[in-house]
Amino acid sequence: MSETRSRRLFETASHLFPGGVNSPVRAFKGVGGTPRFLVRGEGSHVYDADGHEYIDYVASWGPLILGHANPRIVDAIEHAAASGTSFGAPNPYEIELAELIRAAMPSLEMLRFVSSGTEACMSALRLARGYTQRERIIKFDGCYHGHADSLLVKAGSGALTFGVPSSAGIPKDLAALTMVLPYNDAEALRDAFKDHGSDIACVIAEPVAGNMGLVLPEPGFLAAIVDVAHRHGALVIFDEVITGFRVARGGAQSLYGITPDLTCLGKIIGAGLPVGAFGGRAEIMRRLAPLGDVYQAGTLSGNPIAMAAGAAQLRELSSTDAYERLELAGATFETGLRAAIGEHSVHVQFNRIGSIFGLFFNEHRVRDVATAQRSDVNAYAAFFHAMLDRGVYLAPSAFEVGFLSLAHSSADIDDTVTAAKEALATLPTVARR
């Protein structure tokens, strides 16, 4: 497969952007090879600069639940843009999108729009600290909440207590306020609160973990987070940037019946435009400026084009049997992939929730970052490239998830399963049983 144009563009981009990209995973470091420069998307398919067509399971990392260039979204964008691209003043589209969100996720009694998931999580964290007047926070290893300083933190060696920066440039004194615990480990959470309960402002969690591959919460884990945190006067923040409007219209909180104090959203609520939001109990949200003493602001927050696109997408999701169709597509995909995996006797753990899926080249069930890291990343890289060669665009990293959209047809899924059967047959025998 010729990649001449993508290679040339990547070479030029490498002189302009560190690593040739504007977000690290796009550089294909996890799988090797040349990133494809994408020039067009339509429905479930994307097209690269060399004219190759792929069935796309990245979907801009989740926002494109209706597929690429959905006509309703494009119309909404064109209509809004024709009346002005940004005002830096309130506009009616903000209300429309907020009401659609609150109707689906009633725990967001009030919310605030921002421009990314990172901003949503960073702001929710500041609000939780301001509201509780406490400084420590708890996050779970392997959960990603964007790249705010307090959240790019890993567990310190030996002790639970002090996190250490997971990136250069983060003050260690700030990282020390973040305690990092294993996902799905309610016991570790109880211990942390036993030792430091009165200092902990909040626990932030992905209710379904989608940034160490796909890891589902074990029964009782989410309830334990709320129970333990509330007993100690700490808030619970669910980061539903991936799961919101994805695993169900009401997000993971509706699926599992667990209500957090604050919720972070992104991706789907912007339909592929830069949007995030955080919201929750009105009493907490009223602490935000201009009402309260927790500062937060944004020149482009509530941008009319982004709001209009998000509202068009959420309207479409609420007025149709979208989630039943997504579940059906997900189940069909899962049956086909499991058959392909079974046929080739490879050690692959296939996880799925609705339209999100993840593959671990791993002999064992994955429940946290430690078990995820035992996966064979070389086998994933080989599989990724074998799929790419067959016209299937998966995430270029062994620890990212894949997304189906309402645009994926039965033919797309059949073609993907056929490609997977062929791709798995090409894997080095070391990955096979």
Nearer residue to ligand PMP within complex by CB, 123 or 416: 123
Return residues touching ligand PMP (CB under 6 A).
Answer: 61, 116-118, 121, 144-146, 206, 210-211, 239, 241-242, 266, 276
CB of 65 to ligand PMP, least distance (A): 15
Nearer residue to ligand PMP within complex by CB, 43 or 266: 266
Active-site residue identified among 54, 144, 183, 380? 144
Q: Report the alpha-carbon distance of residue 357 to residue 351 in Å, rounded.
A: 6
Active-site residue identified among 185, 239, 261, 376? 239
CB of 119 to ligand PMP, least distance (A): 7
Is 173 a catalytic site residue?
no
Nearer residue to ligand PMP within complex by CB, 242 or 423: 242
CB of 113 to ligand PMP, least distance (A): 13
CB of 318 to ligand PMP, least distance (A): 22
Nearer residue to ligand PMP within complex by CB, 6 or 123: 123
CB of 117 to ligand PMP, least distance (A): 2
Nearer residue to ligand PMP within complex by CB, 144 or 256: 144
Is 239 a catalytic site residue?
yes
Nearer residue to ligand PMP within complex by CB, 152 or 294: 152
Is 421 a catalytic site residue?
no
CB of 319 to ligand PMP, least distance (A): 26
By beta carbon distance, the residue nearest ligand PMP is: 117
Active-site residue identified among 54, 183, 267, 376? 267
Q: Which residues are the active-site residues? A: 144, 239, 267
